[in-house]
Structure 1
Amino acid sequence: MNCAHLESLSLRPPTASQQVYKDDCTQCFDSTEAPSGLDVCLSCFNGGCTSEFPGHSKLHYAITQHPIVLNIKRTRKPIKRDDSPAKIAKLAIPAETDEDRYDTVTAVKCLACNGLELDKHSDKVGSNLADTVKGVMTSLSSDKQSEVKAWEEEISPCEHTLCLEQAEPKVLADQELAHCSQCDLKENLWLCLQCGALGCGRQQFGGVGGNSHGLAHFDQTQHPVSVKLGSITPDGTADVYCYLCNEERQDPNLAEHLWHWGIKISERQKVEKSLVELQLEQNLKWEFSMTAENGEELKPLFGPGFTGLKNLGNSCYLASVVQCLFSLPSFQKRYYNPDCDMPILSEPATDFETQLRKIAYGLLSGRYSVPSTDDHFQAGIRPATFKAMVGKNHAEFSTMRQQDAFEFLLYLVETISRANRKEAENDPTKCLEFISEQRLECLGCHKVSYKSDKQNNISVSVPVRRLDKQSAEDKDAFESVNMRECLDIYTQPERLDYTCQSCGSRDGALKRTAFKTFPEVLIVNARRFEIINWVPTKLDVPVVVRDEPFDLDQYFSQGIQKGEELLPETSDSAETKFTPNEGIMSLLEGMGFPVARCEKALYNTGNADPDSAMNWLFAHMEDPDIDEPLKIDSGNESVNPSEASPEGIAMLTDMGFTVAQAKKALKETGGDMERAVEWVFSHPDDDGSEDTSAAPLGSTDSAGDGTLPATYRLHSIICHKGGSVHAGHYVAFVKKTVEDNKKEQWVLFNDEKVVEGGDVDEMKKFAYVYFFERQRS
């Protein structure tokens, strides 16, 4: 059918770099599976819901005047449960396509003509309609583009793969490659590229067997580089592991190194899952118990506030943090609107405020909390656009790798606080802020100093007391610790190396941290780590936390006392110009690193990244002055690596940005040059002027409440299962009122599954992050 609006347009198919939002609406979570489908704008490829409410497709048209849309509607195909599975001769890795799962119907409509349906196959000169429709349907969606890009891990070569020296060449016979040289295992086989020995790998998730004979070969020979035979593809990719680096690596000369042993790479076929695929499968399938103590399956919950977040592959860390934050009243008040009101923007997918409101509406409205057609759990909402938006300027959170939930929590809180800087009174993270006070007492003259800092969390050390083993084969077991003991340790006096500027004494000083004010919500990170062979290892030390309210009054700072004499002010000293990030300092100290080393690591790596600081520590362990206190060159007193360096400013101004923009970009990104460039491009309207209406974290203006009593009760927890915070699985438990019985009870958020809490007392003992809510009389 003819349409004047179509004839006036010159449509173009999406380019490879353009984002096509065809999975769900950019302003709510209505998807192509909604009864009336999803409208994709054929001018800018925005996705909009088609229902009368919220009606974001029509809103997008009203803002942009882009009239022509492609309506995509999908319905799930029924699962044929009687079909016998096809016989598979070798381990195969089939990829299920959308065509396998859905029936898809499309239609082109003109919103300016009240939804008039047009001929989607039209080849009318100038409109390019047919090509544009084809381009939308065949392109990767925005979500898929982000996932594919993020999964391209930065696996790089190392000196051992680049400088590999191989023994005398020989052709390995088929029988030599058929099984491990030390046992009968025929899969998970690793070929030493240096000498041609074949050994089985370590046991892996999914029932993949292994007796670690490949590792034993390395221990005996120190030959570092091996390749997994079953992962080799004809195009030259494979799992290559360096035992000396203890990391997966890239071998640029893999084909040549394999041919040295008579293996022609073009004739190989991949018959086993790669390490990345196994990790992805592990994180998708790693479950917390979904049964109660009596063996019955936990009851699924539905309705407002009981919506799950679908796992995107390795996003359980994000889901657990988001569920805890958006269960807090301040976040609900700030971002949730039952009418799904959104900022009036032409590109909502790239607006942080919109994506936060979208997440809030998705989680709290109850609109998407309904049983799935496949089972009695819900399908959950996909936080793909939100994840891409939050992590786009961060080297780690923009990937699909598993991350530390506590680090992500700090990053997300900081990002939200920064976004609300111009309207500080509406900042939902204010409920987390409080003022801590450090009291320093010289042990020579007993003069004191007091320093206040604004914080939004504390990290407490969990004391490790091992129980006696019955036999050498038994795993380590630990004595239970009470949360009160952890808080006692956090606030107890600590002896420091110190040279007094008043009396000159080098006897040291006592430092004690206490609360000057208390937050509405106190976040506590329980550090259960020990450095074993220079590797931070997680320990399962149980921490007992009661549901009953408890007070923190004993940790309240009384300030300067009668008779105390203050130490002279040292604010002009060069050594006070650098203030280490308290949260990262706590993490590093909890892993066993001395204070002086932590401060140096943070100073030299920009004061904003725990991974960089840890890498610096490992690289400088042998420095002769590593344990000496941090000293800053007096010629550079005003330089703080967390802010703007002259070199960084020069580089950005050479690119055409103003000095003010350069300074602000470097300050907002912790001095990271690459992120600073991305920050400037993503904030084109920011002229670099400083906003003085909101105090930055670290200043002590109006944070928390100094009245007593300070009584708290456990509100939610983030739990982790696995040997490392960068692997395994995260879930959240939140205390909520359930409509069925009008009672408050624990609710488990395990990705998309939302169920009654089950054995919460046991999970509380091993929680990684605790949220305590202040109780008001």
Structure 2
Amino acid sequence: MSCPHVSGIDLRPPTASQQVHKDDCTQCFDTPDQPWGIDVCLSCFNGGCNSPDRNHSLQHYQLSQHPIVLNIKRKPKPRKEREESPAKIVKLSIPGETEEDRYDVTTLVKCLACNGLELDKAAPNVADVVNGVLTALSSTKLSEVKAWEEEILPCEHTLCLDQDEAKVLADQELAHCSQCDLKENLWLCLKCGNLGCGRQQFGGVGGNGHGLVHFDQTLHPVSVKLGSITPDGTADVYCYLCNEERQDPNLTEHLWHWGIKISERQKVEKSLVELQLEHNLKWEFSMTSESGEELTPLFGPGFTGLKNLGNSCYLASVVQCLYSLPAFQERYYFPNGDLPLTLDPANDLETQLRKLADGLLSGRYSNPPTKDEQQESPYQKGIAPSMFKALVGKNHVEFSTMRQQDAFEFLLYMIQMISRASHQTHGVDPTKVFSFVAEQRLQCLGCRKVSYKTNVQDNISMPVPARRLPTESAEQKDTFESVTLRECMDLFTRSETLEYTCQACGSKDGAVTRTAFKTLPEVLVVNARRFELVNWVPTKLDVPVVVPDEPFSLDDYFSTGLQPGEELLPETPPTADTSFVPNGEIMSMLEAMGFPAPRCEKALYNTGNTDPDAAMNWLFQHMDDPDIDEPFTPLKGSSNLEISESSIAVLADMGFTVPQAKNALKETGGDMERAVEWLFSHPDDSGSEVPDAAQGNKEVTAGDASMPAIFKLHSLICHKGGSIHAGHYVAFIKQILKQQNSSTVNDSEWVLFNDEKVVRGGEADEMKKFAYVYLFERYRR
């Protein structure tokens, strides 16, 4: 029987930029490993499963009328024993395996319009497109780096190094840091011969940063790590001007200049490459109990792991916490498989959020390993959220990369993205469970009049005070006194004095401001800020926070509102912002493109006055504004400048509060470098916004003002590593577990979600003292 459809369709191989969805179904997490495989549409290259209960391939055909598909099935090949010793590390790399290395693949072409009739793969209209699909990079590989590499290269400072007068350094001069007693992690300045200790490094390598201090004082750029020098001429070389590890082709001569014979040196410390590889590959949370027993793996609905796509643990920990909340389960999980009708499900956020819910909550992909698989790992395979990651990270400067990111920043980004999408589609917004109203009270210290300002928030960034305990030696790692959750909340809501010129009485005595809760959410997201600047580098501090196991009250932190006898500050109309002068060069450029002057001025005012691309984007987005062509008079406080969450996070990592970071970025038009300078030149600025009396009576609604406001810890995101942009994230979630082979329900227990590994218990009781993000759920008796 011949097929009448294949000859009537113009099938063309995929171009280099087209997405070919052949790794998994675009609407569920079925892969070619399933018995039925994946059908790749040969017209638009959508991937669909043809499982008996879902058959997303057939659904796609019914919607698109694309009948010809390539079915791909694969079986994993047996793992081969590694025979040869690993190659010597010459650059930082994690090589990827090819499809041929891992799988045996079978394919067939069929027509869905002819009830799955098998077609000839060698037919003229089919052969080229089939070959194109099989050889094309899959959509997953197009959105990630198959083999991550960071090759170490020379720079102009190592190639053109001008050394001071030569001399032989005595052994005692090379024994320890010139500024302290540290005897490891020592860096020799190749310019002048100074020996200084480095910064603290992964793996417990100590350092006081005296090498960096030396650079700050002298601007001598290139240093070498003494303990990393090998007889064959390799060593860690760092250029402070480039702020990167570099290669020094003339290292042997540069060391001999200071009397150091490289052939006599022995490598006694791990190199930066080795430390970095350990950092990215070996950070691991304990998978054993205190008695040393393996933690019990969990399987089934609600216990599905997420494969690490290469530094994607930040995403996995956030997603597991979100989908453990009833609001997200009710919004996105449809056991009957209900999905939006769309021709491009891979790029539809609603589809991908539902796909993720089905993958995590159905239990379909959370199965114990087979007997053969148990030899490699006792844990489940998990699901790969590559399509979801590519979509949510699309066009984002950080989340589109394969680098490690800040889990809290990603959580805020997810809340923002889901909320915006819900408003656009008029759907139920599950992120409303995070929303509450914060109220800021300001009182002039001159006339004692007050102003109240309210705003809707979806999280709080809680300061954690750092009180160091005495140490026996300078080399001993800092330890800190425990603080309670209540003490941190007291700090968050305490009164602060700020500079303020009163518009009512003219007093410059300042004002007192305090933030409190006007309402509280169903789920309170708390970011615990445990960072301080060490030699201008944000350093994580392991300050333990004692979080109660039992429900606790937040009633004491509600705002009292306007009190009897209090007088409101008068409303003051906005005044002209005479400090704003449009950037002449960009103005000319925009006007030359045909934009009227008032539009150009507004665009520059609202985008920071420095970036022509940002101004142009603003113009295109606001072309339909009814007042777009009216004469422009900038008013103080009227700018619509959008402050990037990533910029706020970077400044917050440096030890500044989120309000300080926002204030600095607003004052400097969003310019990061100028914002840092502004913060250091305004050390007394609290970042608290002066409440606008004109907004005093403006009612905002979110959350719940009823009392008692009782909360209980629901889940937490934990991190191991010296920086939030490296190391490893996991999630601990309180779950109700059923006894095996029984309908009896136990009390809720902690479950550890460590990428694809999902286990009972873990280090939750200890790790909750050091968690990075806490999710507290409102407790209803």
Report the Cα offset of residue 339 of structure 1: 1.7
> Residues 11 and 203 of structure 1: is their aligned pair in 2 closer, same or farther, counting only changes over 3 Å?
farther
TM superposition shift of 1:149:
8.8
Q: Structure 1 residues 760 and 19 mapped into 2: Cα distance closer, same or farther (>3 Å)?
A: same
Corresponding residue of 1:736 = 735
Cα–Cα, structure 1 residues 585 and 516, in superposed 2: closer, same or farther, change >3 Å?
A: farther
1:762 paired with 2:760, answer no
Residues 1:336 and 2:333 are matched in the alignment? yes
Question: In 2, distance between residues paired with 1:729 and 1:259?
Answer: 37
1:543 to 537, 545, 549: 545
Q: CA deviation at 1:707?
A: 1.1
2:27–2:346 Cα contact (<8 Å) kept: yes
Give per-residue Cα distances to partners, 1:464-499, cap 9 Å, x unaligned: 111111233221010001001101111111111111
Q: Which residue of 1 aligns with 2:84?
A: 86
How far did 1:702 drift? Answer: 2.8
Structure 1 pair 189/110, CA: closer, same or farther in 2 (3 Å)? farther
Matched to 1:144, the amino acid is K
- Aligned equivalent of 1:572, options 574, 581, 584: 574
Match of 1:47 in 2: 47
Alpha-carbon distance between aligned partners in 1 of 2:515 and 2:766, rounded to the nearest angstrom: 30
Q: Match for 1:742: what amino acid? A: V
| Count of residues paired in the alignment | 663
Matched residue, 1:562: 564
Q: Is the Cα–Cα contact under 8 Å of residues 39 and 70 in structure 1 kept in the other structure?
A: yes
Q: What displacement does 1:119 show?
A: 1.8
Q: Which amino acid aligns with 2:135?
A: T
1:434 to 421, 429, 436: 436
> Following TM superposition, by how much is the alpha carbon of 1:568 offset from its aligned partner in structure 2, in angstroms?
1.0
1:481 matched residue in structure 2: 483
699-708 vs 38-47, greater mean Cα deviation = 699-708
Write the mapping of 1:135-174 to structure 2, written as runs, cut at 5 A: 135-148=132-145, 161=156, 165-167=160-162
Confirm whether residue 358 of structure 1 aligns to residue 361 of structure 2: no
Residues 1:602 and 2:603 are matched in the alignment? no
Alpha-carbon distance, 1:283 to partner:
2.8
- Corresponding residue to 1:376 among 372, 375, 378: 378
What is the CA–CA distance in structure 1 between the aligned matches of 2:401 and 2:74, rounded to whole Å?
Answer: 29
- State the match for 1:297 in structure 2: 294
Partner of 1:513: 515
Q: Does 1:719 align with 2:718?
A: yes
**Structure-1 residue corresponding to 2:494:** 492
Q: How does 1:14-33 map to 2 (within 5 A)?
A: 14-33=14-33
Pairwise mapping of residues 176-187 of structure 1 onto structure 2 (< 5 A)? none
For structure 2, the 5+ residue unaligned runs are 164-173, 177-184, 229-234, 255-269, 576-634
Distance in 1 (CA, whole Å) between partners of 2:508 and 2:459 is 32
For 2:216 and 2:644, the matched residues in 1 are separated by 40
CA drift of 1:701 comes to: 3.7
Aligned to 2:593: none
Q: Secondary structure in 2 aligned to 1:307?
A: coil
Q: Counterpart of 1:618?
A: 676
What root-mean-square deviation, in Å, do the aligned CA atoms of Structure 1 and Structure 2 show? 4.4
Closer/same/farther in 2, CA of residues 350 and 338 from structure 1, 3 Å limit: same
Q: Note if contact 1:597-1:617 (Cα within 8 Å) is conserved in structure 2.
A: no
- The CA deviation at 1:164 is 5.7
* C-alpha deviation, 1:619, in angstroms: 4.6
Secondary structure of the residue that 1:133 maps to in structure 2? Answer: helix
Identity %: 64
Counterpart of 1:7? Answer: 7
* Distance (whole Å) between structure 1 residues aligned to residue 502 and residue 355 of structure 2: 54
2:456 touches 2:701 (CA, 8 Å); kept in 1? no
CA distance in 2, matches of 1:480, 1:142: 48
Q: Provide, for residues 40-92 of structure 1, a one-character-per-residue CA deviation record: whole Å limited to 9, x for no partner.
A: 11111111112022211111111111111111111112235xx5612457458
Separation in structure 1 between the aligned mates of residue 36 and residue 379 of structure 2, nearest angstrom: 23
Alpha-carbon contact 1:413-1:429 (below 8 Å) kept:
yes
Which residue number in structure 1 is paired with residue 617 of structure 2?
none
Q: 1:220 to 1:430 in 2, by over 3 A?
A: closer
Where does structure 1 lack aligned partners over 5 or more consecutive residues? 169-180, 232-237, 262-272, 638-697
Query: CA-to-partner distance for each residue in 1:644-698, whole Å, 9 max, x for gaps?
Result: xxxxxxxxxxxxxxxxxxxxxxxxxxxxxxxxxxxxxxxxxxxxxxxxxxxxxx9
Q: Is 2:158–2:222's contact at 8 Å kept on the other side of the alignment?
A: no
CA distance in 2, matches of 1:167, 1:142: 49
Deviates more, 1:91-100 or 1:712-721: 91-100
Q: Which residue in the other structure is 1:688 paired with?
A: none
For the Cα contact (< 8 Å) 2:537–2:654, is it kept in 1?
no
* Structure 2 counterpart of 1:616, one-letter code: R
Aligned to 2:450: 448
- Work out whether residues 718 and 733 of structure 1, in 8 Å CA contact, stay in contact via their aligned partners in 2: yes
State the partner residue of 2:75.
75
1:17 Cα deviation from its structure 2 partner: 0.9
**2:64 alignment partner in structure 1:** 64
1:753 partner amino acid: K
- Could you say which residue in structure 2 is the equivalent of 1:119? 120
Counterpart of 1:505 in structure 2: which amino acid? S
Contact map agreement 2:549 2:713 (CA 8 A) in 1: yes
Distance in 2 of aligned mates of 1:441 and 1:387: 46
CA shift, 1:759, in A, is: 2.9
In structure 1, what is the Cα distance between the partners aligned to 2:314 and 2:552?
A: 28
Q: Which letter does structure 1 place at the counterpart of 2:41?
A: C
The CA deviation at 1:14 is 1.2
Q: Give the equivalent residue in structure 2 for 1:100.
A: 101
Which residue does the alignment assign to 2:395? 393
C-alpha contact 1:527 1:587 (8 A) present in aligned 2: no
- 1:173-231 Cα offsets, whole Å, 9 max, x none, are xxxxxxxx999xxxx99999989999999998799999x99999989996525799xx9
Return closer, same or farther for 1:496/1:592 CA change in 2, 3 Å cut-off: farther
Relative distance call for 1:89 and 1:64 in structure 2 (3 A) is closer
Deviation at 1:18, TM superposition (A): 1.0
Q: Note the alpha carbon deviations across 1:28-48, whole angstroms, 9 max, x for none.
A: 100010111111111111111
Query: Which amino acid in structure 1 is aligned with residue 749 of structure 2?
Result: Q
Partner amino acid, structure 1, of 2:451: S
CA contact (8 A) 1:58 1:111 kept: yes
Amino acid at match of 2:110: K
Change (3 A) 1:581 1:761: farther
What is the match of residue 324 of structure 1? 321
Alignment partner of 2:145: what SS?
A: helix
Normalising by structure 1, we get a TM-score of 0.76
Higher deviation after alignment, 502-511 or 30-39: 502-511
Question: What's the offset of the Cα at 1:308?
Answer: 0.7
Quick one: structure 1 residues 132 and 313, their matched pair in 2 at CA, closer, same or farther if it must change by over 3 Å?
Answer: same
* 2:95–2:146 CA contact under 8 A, matched in 1: no
> 2: CA distance between counterparts of 1:149 and 1:95?
6
Letter in 1 for 2:461: S
- 3-state secondary structure, aligned to 2:778: strand
Alignment CA distance shift 1:500-1:52 (3 Å): same
8 Å CA contact 2:157, 2:222 repeated in 1: no
